Structure 1
Amino acid sequence: MLTLTPLTAFTFGLLGSIAHCVGMCSGVLLLLGRAGVQTPRERLATHAGRLTTYLMLGVAGGALGRTLTALLANRTLQSGLALFLGFALAYTALALLGMTPPPETAFPALSALWRRVAHRRLHAPQRGVVAAWGIGLIWGMLPCGFVYSMVLAATASGSPLSGGVIALAFGLGTIPALEGTRALMAHGVGRMRRFAHVLAAALLLLIAGQLILRGLAWWGVIGHGHLGGIMVW
């Protein structure tokens, strides 16, 4: 259906993490410090665990997209899937701008389950790189509309390989902001976050718009758009 470049996914992760994760995950970072995840190796291991979870989600999303594309063999049903993914991504973009409720608020039971599991794991006696990697796996499961948008983009790729690459590039893009959270907060992060919110939302809206236009074109409402020999939608 739609293949994002790794650079686009990385940029989305970078901008979105400044806009979203600095606020949402700062509490998680504080808990990691209290739980004894202090050394550079342990912090790296938590990120590796988080990226492992994202990779699995991306591969699963891409596989789901490929399966749905195969099952929905006719253009009418495929266009419906493209429209659904497009509007879902557009909703997430509006949530980044504060215009709609965050998607994760629709799943309170999932959030409560994550908190219970994370609380037990963070207070477990095991320490070290392997334990930090396990904590990162759980961190990656944090109910988050930002991550949901990554899974939707992976699903829209229609390929497990592309979905996995999108997820990894996205995850790598989130690391700089998460590691630099304290420094950002000490240097006027408010304006930086607002700017990043707008850029990340704009990027999501571009992807959403492409999916929506492609869905409408498959339905015959509009014509397909081409840039040279490449079909844009």
Structure 2
Amino acid sequence: MQPELYLSYSSAFLIGLLGSTHCLGMCGGISASLSMTLPVGKGFRLRQTVMLLAFNLGRVGSYALIAALIAIFSTSAAGQWRWAALLLMTLAGLLLIFMGLSMGQWWQGIRFVEKVGAPVWKRLAPLTRRFIPVNNPGQALALGALWGWLPCGLVYSTLGWAALQPTIGAAALTMLFFGLGTLPSMLATGYAANWIRNLQGNRGFRRISGALLILFGLWTLPFQALMH
């Protein structure tokens, strides 16, 4: 594997990890609700874990699928036209910067970007009702797969990064690693809801995470390429 791909995958994982507080706001509620329909008693923790894993498997799988669909076009365009590659790098960097500003609670302009996916979500949202309440892992998997299309600035920011990858498979893997980075907070929602809520409201944590996302965005911008 190329060293650049290792860097992309590890960076995507860190973006997911740093964006945990945003993930909790967007998906934490539905993730926590999976436990509410389970009967309390022997084997509760095991059933809860299976439900959470199934939901998040579906969610992360959708991220990878969306990345692959975008990469079909982005890899072709970037390979043929230099300006297209520079445009993709600029968009990816700006989206990460916008997300960092939102995470740090400095500016909420990323909300306008989230409206891009609203038409798709408007069609998919009614389908989620078919799987609520969730009674088995299959329903949790299907619900997670649909929930992965929820308009989300953090996902869109990382999709911009994924679009920069040289192949469709690399783009899908980038989003897979991003999804894995979001797992700790999403899985912890069912076990440590109070601690997670405190972390989400911690101003210092949000600002440090936001600043790091901004640095990722600045690093992505094609300053060096524009000089040549």
TM range (shorter): 0.7 to 0.9
Find the partner of 1:198 among 185, 207, 226. Answer: 207
Residue 156 of structure 2 is aligned to residue 153 of structure 1 = no
TM-score by length of 1: 0.76
Q: 1:184 to 1:87 in 2, by over 3 A?
A: same
Q: 1:128 to 1:191 in 2, by over 3 A?
A: closer
Match of 2:130 in 1: 120
Q: Give the CA deviation at 1:155.
A: 0.5
**Per-residue CA distance 1:143-191 (angstroms, 9 max, x = gap):** 1111111211100223212212211111111111012125252477247
Q: Give the CA deviation at 1:34.
A: 4.5
Aligned-residue RMSD, C-alpha: 2.9
C-alpha distance in 2 between matches for 1:100 and 1:33:
31
C-alpha distance in 2 between matches for 1:152 and 1:168:
14
C-alpha distance in 2 between matches for 1:107 and 1:162:
23
Match of 1:131 in 2: 139
Q: 1:196 to 1:68 in 2, by over 3 A?
A: farther
Find the partner of 1:85 among 92, 95, 114. Answer: 92
TM-score by length of 2: 0.77
Letter in 2 for 1:119: R
**Contact preservation (8 Å) 1:50, 1:136:** yes
Letter in 1 for 2:186: L
Q: Give the CA deviation at 1:137.
A: 0.8
Q: Percent identity?
A: 25
Match of 1:44 in 2: 53
Aligned runs of 1:7-156 on 2, under 5 Å? 7-17=10-20, 19-34=21-36, 39=47, 40-72=49-81, 75-98=82-105, 99-101=107-109, 102=111, 103-105=113-115, 107-123=117-133, 127-156=135-164
Find the partner of 1:177 among 181, 185, 209. Answer: 185
Letter in 2 for 1:121: F
C-alpha distance in 2 between matches for 1:105 and 1:97:
20
**Contact preservation (8 Å) 2:59, 2:144:** yes
Q: Give the CA deviation at 1:121.
A: 2.7
Task: Give the aligned length.
Answer: 213
Residue segments in structure 1 that go unaligned for 5+ positions in a row? 224-233
Q: 1:8 to 1:71 in 2, by over 3 A?
A: same
Residue segments in structure 2 that go unaligned for 5+ positions in a row? none
Match of 1:164 in 2: 172
Q: 1:187 to 1:9 in 2, by over 3 A?
A: closer
C-alpha distance in 1 between matches for 2:68 and 2:12:
14
Secondary structure of the corresponding residue to residue 33 of structure 1: coil
